[in-house]
Amino acid sequence: MSECAAERGRMAGLLLLCAASALLLAAVGAIPPPEEAARMARFVLHSCDWGALATLSAQEGLRGRPFANIFSISDGPPGPFGGSGVPYLYLTDMEISVQDLEVNSNASLTVSLAQTPYCRRHRYDPQNPLCAHIIFVGSIVKVNDSEAVLAKKALFSRHPEMESWPKDHDWFFAKFNITNIWVLDYFGGLKIVTPEEYYSVKPYGLLDAVSEVIRWEKIRVMLMWK
């Protein structure tokens, strides 16, 4: 193979690698299409740092009424490979909503892309279905010691301030145990996703992108040896 051909192959390979990298980055940042409701639910949760947790109040004068509150959440460290799909929380018994949960652990959790640059960039109102939001229903449960390690990594990577919160508040790690999922990401009403469907997918379509990178790498090698 001549030096000229080799150089031509290297240049072509570089261009193809750049294109493949751009493809991978696009796949990482792209919002899932409306027909992939389960992946949309995973994507929105992993994109969000907080959510609205609704409990049934146990407070005097409000007993049995809905009570929504904001909580910091995380399903894993930021990035395409960090999402577990499990919403983790850092709680204390001193918190009013946690006191509700001690009486009735059932709750709902709503997360929305309205808190991300996506909806602002497209000028979507938070109530616009295209500004996707997910409603989870289930219960809050305290995690065991082994899972607490995962919860700590997930939460402290996104909310480093938590490490300095008062130790005498007896903070503990908990998770939202999902039983029902509703997705609103397009016109035509809510979509129902089962927990099994939800946990069987990943928030980002990386497999297709990685396959494309491998395909382009094969082409690059072929060009180098022409």
**Rounded CA separation 113/183 (Å):** 12
**Rounded CA separation 69/92 (Å):** 14
- Render pLDDT for 176-194 as a digit per residue (tens, 0 to 9): 999 999 999 999 999 999 9
- Render pLDDT for 47-87 as a digit per residue (tens, 0 to 9): 999 999 999 999 999 999 999 999 999 999 998 877 999 99
**Rounded CA separation 32/198 (Å):** 13
* Angle between helix 206-224 and 3-29 (nearest 10): 180
Cα–Cα distances (Å) from 217 to 3, 34, 111, 209, in that order, read 21, 31, 39, 12
- DSSP tag of 176: E
- Render pLDDT for 84-106 as a digit per residue (tens, 0 to 9): 999 999 999 999 999 999 999 99
Structural domains for the chain: 30-203 (2.30.110.10)
What pairs with residue 91 in β-bridges? 172
- pLDDT at position 113 is 98
Query: What are the contacts of 57-63 at 24+ separation with CB within 8 A?
Result: 57/100, 58/99, 58/100, 58/102, 58/103, 58/104, 59/96, 59/99, 59/100
**Rounded CA separation 13/216 (Å):** 8
- pLDDT at position 80 is 81
- Quickly state the pLDDT bin for 5 (edges 50, 70, 90): low
